[in-house]
Amino acid sequence: MPTDDTGAPTSSRYRYQYQLAAAHCMSMLRNDGRAVVCEWHADFLLHRADGQWELVSVKHLDEGSWSFSKLFDDGGLALLFDTWIGLKRPAGVRLCTNGGFSTTKSPISARAIEDVCGEQLALVVISDEMCCAVAWAVLKVAAKNKLDNLPSVEKIPLIAEWTSPDGLPAGMMDAAREFLQSLRIEKFPARQNIHDHVIRRYVEPELRKLGRDTRTADVCYERLLTLIDRASRDNDGVPLDPLDRLTDPATMTLSGKLDERMQRRTITMEQVLECLAMAHTDVAPLLPAGRRPPRAPGGRKLTAKLHDGGISDEDKQQALDLRDLWHDSWPRVTTGFPQDIEVEFALEQEILDLVRTLRLELAGQDRYGVRFMAALHQRLRLDTLRGRPALPLHDRHLVGLAYELSDQCRFGFVDEGAAQ
């Protein structure tokens, strides 16, 4: 046994924080949030759709439940209160935890705080006694750990006396009330269950909404966690644009450096969507829509070319079906990013290269059109492409694109050499 075996638990605690940050990154897609900023004033910040900021603290409780005083000390509410005061009381503060809340009154219960600030938002009046108790709990932590934005007091009364305002600094009780009105407590599963929770509740629903394959959820999630890990490490301090430092003196000022540091720790909605867009599975669904594809417009030129190549009616129908599949599937598997155009263009070039090769190999053979069609089906596969597209495509989708190119008069099914 190593003399110091704290590395793995410490890493696990950080990963729990990153996983909750990932949940809030995914929530941006539902709530039109603007950004998540990692390790900035708190574990992370939320930049909400209304332009307001929210401080978020993550606390994992390995066993037991939060008592009232422990909630402000180890639970981090006192530090969150201090940061909130220092930032001139921004719109929101949030505590994310797996821990339960004790019903023991000391002098009030932690459960009473959850009732006021929890996800259920019970219709509970914030009493003066609760505000006094919160103020004293914060001041007790401030007396033990130096907190920059809180006043000092000569004496902290016994816990039983915390419901009294006697001795509280001016304005402290009102600040505690405003803090409770701004605070939201959000419950999450414990460390060992958080991975599946975020996948099922946040990642998979967004993939379905985007029309993507939910089997990519694990890969997408790991990409997002990697992005959060890098942002939390300030992207190792690498400049966003080194050239700016040479051409814009403002970037070297203190304000400029702070702006750049914040940008390095910021995750935008666009970056989250890219994490969902860049993954693929080894086996993609043949029918992304979950039904037979409807008949696509066009197709007459393809039918004529197949007829000229001596293709049977049954094979013509299959070719049209696969072209329909391409038209129905491509909009569902694409990401909406400019890279889609690049992927489609690359696939077209791969198909036309294969068409050229088959023409040379099959030239002069009898039943050229039938042989050409069979070879196209056999050899046009994802695993033969020069680069695997980062989209959930099936081999049949490629063949459907080939028939679409034929309908665009990019190639036919007649032996050109024999025709000449």
The tens-digit pLDDT sequence of the chain (420 residues) is 443 333 344 556 789 999 999 999 999 999 889 999 999 999 999 999 999 999 999 999 999 999 999 999 999 999 999 999 999 888 799 999 999 999 999 899 999 999 999 987 656 789 999 999 999 999 999 999 888 899 989 899 999 999 999 999 999 999 999 999 999 999 999 999 999 999 999 999 998 888 777 878 888 999 999 999 999 998 777 665 554 554 565 555 667 778 889 999 999 999 999 998 865 555 577 887 778 999 999 999 999 999 999 999 999 999 999 999 999 999 988 877 778 899 999 999 999 999 999 999 999 999 999 999 999 999 999 989 988 787 888 999 999 999 999 999 999 999 987 655
In this structure, is residue 331 part of a structural domain? yes
Query: So what's the pLDDT on residue 214?
Result: 81
In order, the DSSP letters of 10-35 are HHHHHHHHHHHHHHHHHHHHHHT--E
- Token pair 């993507």: residue: 212
Query: How many whole angstroms separate alpha carbon 404 and alpha carbon 380?
Result: 14
Residue range(s) defining the domain that contains residue 368: 300-419
In this structure, is residue 351 part of a structural domain? yes
In this structure, is residue 122 part of a structural domain? no
In this structure, is residue 320 part of a structural domain? yes
In order, the DSSP letters of 309-328 are TT--HHHHHHHHHHHHHHHH
Do strands 100-101 and 266-268 pair parallel, antiparallel, or not at all (unpaired)?
Answer: unpaired
The number of residues making up the chain comes to 420
pTM over 0.85: no
Q: How many CB atoms lie within 10 A of CB 181?
A: 11
Query: So what's the pLDDT on residue 172?
Result: 96
SS percent in the chain: helix, strand, coil, step 5: 55, 10, 35
Say if residues 57 and 96 touch (Cβ distance below 8 Å).
yes
In this structure, is residue 340 part of a structural domain? yes
Do strands 266-268 and 92-97 pair parallel, antiparallel, or not at all (unpaired)?
Answer: unpaired
Beta strands in 221-350 (DSSP E): 266-268
CA neighbor of 175 nearest in space, from 157, 147, 149: 149
In this structure, is residue 191 part of a structural domain? no
Query: How many whole angstroms separate alpha carbon 156 and alpha carbon 144?
Result: 11
Query: So what's the pLDDT on residue 239?
Result: 65
Query: How many whole angstroms separate alpha carbon 22 and alpha carbon 27?
Result: 9
Query: How many whole angstroms separate alpha carbon 239 and alpha carbon 314?
Result: 60
Written as six digits, the tokens of 387 are 């680069």
- Exposure string of 232-252, with b = 16+ CB inside 10 Å and e = fewer, is bebbeeeeeeeeeeeeeeebe
The total of structural domains in the chain comes to 1
- Token pair 């790991």: residue: 222
In this structure, is residue 335 part of a structural domain? yes
Distance set, CA 85 to CA 43, 77, 81, 133 (Å):
16, 12, 6, 17
User: Residue 147: helix, strand or coil by DSSP?
Assistant: coil
Query: How many whole angstroms separate alpha carbon 211 and alpha carbon 362?
Result: 40
Burial class (CB in 10 A: 0-12, 13-18, 19+), 348: middle
Phi, then psi, of 93 in degrees rounded to 5: -135, 150
